[in-house]
Amino acid sequence: MEKVLEEILSFRKERNWEQFHNPKDLAISLSLEASELLENFQWKDSQEALEENMDNIKDELADVLIYSLMLAHDLDLDVQEIIHNKVQKNAKKYPVEKALGTNKKYTEL
């Protein structure tokens, strides 16, 4: 993961784009890229979307991940730690004995 982050940060630094990458704008860009990812699935079932748009899905998912990693870096957040903490929170909200095989929200379990 460190090598990927170094590549992203180097790309950004070479273009002097850090000046544009404040947390607000990175979060906005992340949301916009997530919307572009969603467009690949609009009006299609999952299988159809994957068959027709896999290359674009890869590109848009990469954009989402890139902006996410830059935002975490700039906020001095440890990605592994925050993901681990979130999974632990979700484990409490969705205990296996209640959530197994259901798509209900934790407030409905």
pLDDT in tens, 48-98: 999 999 999 999 999 999 999 999 999 999 999 999 999 999 999 999 999
HSE value, Cβ hemisphere, 13 Å, CA-based, for 48 = 6
Which CATH class, in words, describes the domain spanning 2-77?
mainly alpha
pTM above 0.85, yes or no: yes
Portions of the chain given CATH number 1.10.287.1080: 2-77
Residue 33 near residue 63, CB atoms below 8 Å: yes
Q: Amino acid identity, residue 8? A: I
Question: What's the confidence (pLDDT) of residue 51?
Answer: 97
30-47 pLDDT, tens digit per residue, is: 999 999 999 999 999 999
| Contact indicator for 71, 27 with CB cutoff of 8 Å | yes
**Model pLDDT, residue 107:** 85
